[in-house]
Amino acid sequence: MKTTPLQLALLLALLLPAALPAADLPKPDHEESALDDAMSSMNSAFRKLRRQVADPQQNPASLALVAKLRKACVEATLALPTKIARMPTKDQAAAKAAYTEKMQELIATVDELAAALKANKNPEAAAIIKELSLQEEAGHKQFRTKKKDD
- Which of residues 62, 81, 113, 122 is near ligand HEM by CB under 6 A? 81
In the complex, minimum distance from the CB of residue 22 to ligand HEM, in angstroms, rounded to a whole number: 19
Number of residues located near ligand HEM, criterion CB under 6 A: 22
Which range, of 50-58, 59-67, 77-85, 114-122, touches ligand HEM by CB under 6 A?
Answer: 77-85
Which letter does DSSP use for residue 29 in this model?
S
Which letter does DSSP use for residue 147 in this model?
G
Site for ligand HEM in 24-43 (CB under 6 A): 33, 35-36, 39-40, 42-43
The C-alpha R_g of the chain, in whole angstroms, comes to 22
List alpha helices for 28-144, DSSP H: 34-52, 59-78, 82-85, 89-118, 122-143
First to last CA, the chain: 50
Torsion sign over Cα 66, 48, 101, 121:
negative
CA-CA distance, 46 to 41, in Å (whole number)?
8
**Residue 94: how many CB atoms within 10 A of its CB?**
11
Judged by beta carbon, residue 10 or residue 134, the one nearer ligand HEM is 134
Amino acid, single-letter form, for residue 78: L
Which range, of 9-17, 99-107, 113-121, 123-131, touches ligand HEM by CB under 6 A?
Answer: 99-107
Judged by beta carbon, residue 39 or residue 116, the one nearer ligand HEM is 39
| φ/ψ (deg, to 5) at 61 | -65, -40
- Which of residues 53, 65, 99, 117 is near ligand HEM by CB under 6 A? 99
Judged by beta carbon, residue 39 or residue 53, the one nearer ligand HEM is 39
Given the rule CB under 6 A, which residues bind ligand HEM? 33, 35-36, 39-40, 42-43, 46, 81-83, 99, 102-103, 106, 132, 135-136, 139-140, 143-144
